[in-house]
A and B are shown apart, each in its own frame.
Chain A
Amino acid sequence: MFGEVRAVDDLSVAIPEGAIGLVGPNGAGKTTFLRLLLGLVRPTTGTAKVLGHDIAEGVPVRERIGYMPEHDCLIPDMTGVGLVTFMGRVSGLDADTAISRAHDVLQFVGVEEERYRKIAEYSTGMKQKIKLAQAMVHDPQLYIFDEPTTGLDPRGRTEMLDLVRVIANSPGRNVVLSSHLLPDVETICKYIVILDGGHQIAAGELRQLLSGSADRLRIDVRGDREAFAQRLRETGLEAEATPTGVHVARKPGVEGVIFGIAKALGAEVRYMGREIRSLEEFFLELVERNEAAVSV
């Protein structure tokens, strides 16, 4: 609770190992959720455990977490290798290990001789890499990436996503990826938690959530989708035209009806199969549904 505002409420989620996406509109409670994970705030009610440690413990939790913040937060008058070494030492590494690890992780993220330059002279992409390196230096079990591709050009974004993917696929390493860029989340994460208005509105395996209902078909039609859906409705089927295609409730013999209508309308059926949504479609659908429920 922040004053009178309940930032995150009724959030009960068991996050499995692997890469987890954390998405939600602005003000959904993502930042508060990250603060909770880092042990920087305590829940007013309830408990939370991260890697087996109660978040109220704070320090033992953060020993196991590598956090890559969204905003620019580097110390400009330090060199890249100096900062990463320093952060390793603040995490508890001895001086020799910190220096050695700093060079290893800078090599991994692709910062070469630039590591000896002052951070003030770095480009945005280079700063993002340093932020990633400082999160990795103490070899944490859990990585929290807050908008890791913010401000990056397409090439930089691809590079960063590749690095995040390598970390997410490393044995014994877990990733929480908070991002507004849903395609980023979709390509990296196996699991997802969607927040809105401080509530969890969906959580689970991404593939399952996006696969939608087995009772519905999605038809990609070249031609007038609305007319197609209308004709389907006229035959007694439950159908809806959306920007991603025509969605229709599955019934015995529905395929024949669909092809019949397509022939009659001169439309081309390019795809017909189980309804699979993109994360963006799923997200928008959930948020709209949640907003409607709240307004009622």
Chain B
Amino acid sequence: MSISLPTYTRREMPLLGRRHRLRAIIVTGLRREFKRPAVIVSTLLGVALIVIISTAILLFAGLFLPGQALDLSFFFVPASNQTVLFFITLMASLVGSALIADDLNSMALTLYLSRPITHADYLVAKAAILAPLISLIAVLPLVLTPFVAALLGLFSWTIALQAIGLAVLLGSLFTAFYTSVTLLLSSLTHRKSYAAAGIFAVTFGLTIPAEILSISINNPALLYASPWEDYLAVARAAFGAPGGQIDWPWALVILLAATLVAASLTYLRMKAVEVVAG
């Protein structure tokens, strides 16, 4: 008699690469965000309001902005709309404040970093969740406005396309700044409310005092402290709009430097977090 038993061979499961792993975090993160009513409402409201205001300015430019030339410099007007600033801040605080703080609070960071990804991968994935949502406010309406203007025949397609290109660059700059700063603030605390308050503090706590003080002591250099004023200086130069009290190259350097410093500090902070705690 002979008995033969089946031999068991374990089939190793092939694992996909890091790009796939990051995509999994990003897609899951975006899905979670778009299930939150606050995010849906603020996104829709923000985009709709900015597009409506911009289109209204466009259609009634002669009424609202007498003397405004209908050339590329016109598109500085929608770009400088303060609704953009408010909704970017709102979006960053609603979504971004929780991105890392929640993982620190629930200690889910341990789950992420015990997986085959690095700290940098984790941060890139978190940034890739936040950046598209901020860019919905910072880029999309500014792209739609010249597009609508060209469709209505108010501007030539040459000017509209130039404006679209500049809107993408400017919006991306502001998106990068807010993404970076928001993730830094979120990484510093376990409470997303603190991070959200920090985002409002960075936006309005710097902008409002800088504007008031620069006028009261007649020192425009204080406006460099405001990210919004820096953005406006760069936007003004990009669209060729007149006015402005601060130099755009320095404003651009400040925005880029702040973005890079915040990103580096976030990375260092995350490396310092004890993932496996005893």
A residues with a Cβ closer than 8 A to B are 26, 30-32, 34-35, 38, 40, 58-60, 62-63, 65, 67, 69-77, 86-87, 89-94, 97, 101, 134, 138-139, 146, 171-172
A69–B278 touching, CB < 8 Å: no
A69 to B106, CA, bound (A): 12
User: With A90-B25, A92-B16, A92-B21 known to touch, is A62 a contact of B114 (CB < 8 Å)?
Assistant: yes
Q: Is B13 an interface residue when CB atoms closer than 8 A count as contact?
A: yes
Q: Can you identify 25 A-B contacts, CB atoms within 8 angstroms?
A: A38-B114, A40-B114, A62-B115, A62-B116, A63-B15, A63-B116, A67-B110, A70-B278, A73-B108, A73-B110, A74-B106, A89-B24, A89-B28, A90-B21, A90-B24, A90-B112, A91-B15, A91-B115, A91-B116, A92-B20, A97-B13, A134-B111, A138-B15, A139-B10, A171-B10
A16 to B20, CA, bound (A): 33
Residue A138 contacts which of B13, B106, B277 (CB distance < 8 angstroms)? B13
A72 to B108, CA, bound (A): 8
User: With A58-B118, A59-B118 known to touch, is A31 a contact of B278 (CB < 8 Å)?
Assistant: yes
Q: Is B275 an interface residue when CB atoms closer than 8 A count as contact?
A: yes
A35–B275 touching, CB < 8 Å: yes
Closest residue to B115 on the A side, CB-wise? A90
Q: Is B67 an interface residue when CB atoms closer than 8 A count as contact?
A: no
Closest residue to B122 on the A side, CB-wise? A90
Q: Distance in Å from the Cβ of A13 to the closest Cβ of chain B?
A: 19
Q: Could you tell me which residues of chain B, from 1 to 54, have a CB within 8 Å of some CB in chain A? A: 8, 10, 12-13, 15-18, 20-21, 24-25, 28, 32
Residue A35 contacts which of B18, B111, B276 (CB distance < 8 angstroms)? B276
Q: Distance in Å from the Cβ of B140 to the closest Cβ of chain A?
A: 28
B interface residues, how many (CB within 8 angstroms): 32
Closest residue to A147 on the B side, CB-wise? B278
The residues of A that contact B114 with a CB separation of less than 8 Å are: 38, 40, 62, 65, 67, 69
Closest residue to A75 on the B side, CB-wise? B108
B111–A93 touching, CB < 8 Å: no
A251 to B110, CA, bound (A): 55
Q: Distance in Å from the Cβ of A82 to the closest Cβ of chain B?
A: 8
Residue A172 contacts which of B10, B15, B32, B109 (CB distance < 8 angstroms)? B10
User: With A71-B107, A74-B106 known to touch, is A92 a contact of B116 (CB < 8 Å)?
Assistant: yes
Q: Is B257 an interface residue when CB atoms closer than 8 A count as contact?
A: no
Closest residue to B125 on the A side, CB-wise? A90
A69–B107 touching, CB < 8 Å: yes
A71–B277 touching, CB < 8 Å: yes
A76 to B111, CA, bound (A): 13
The residues of A that contact B276 with a CB separation of less than 8 Å are: 31, 34-35, 38, 40, 67, 69, 146
The residues of A that contact B112 with a CB separation of less than 8 Å are: 90
A40–B113 touching, CB < 8 Å: yes
Q: Is B169 an interface residue when CB atoms closer than 8 A count as contact?
A: no
Closest residue to A98 on the B side, CB-wise? B24
Q: Distance in Å from the Cβ of A177 to the closest Cβ of chain B?
A: 15
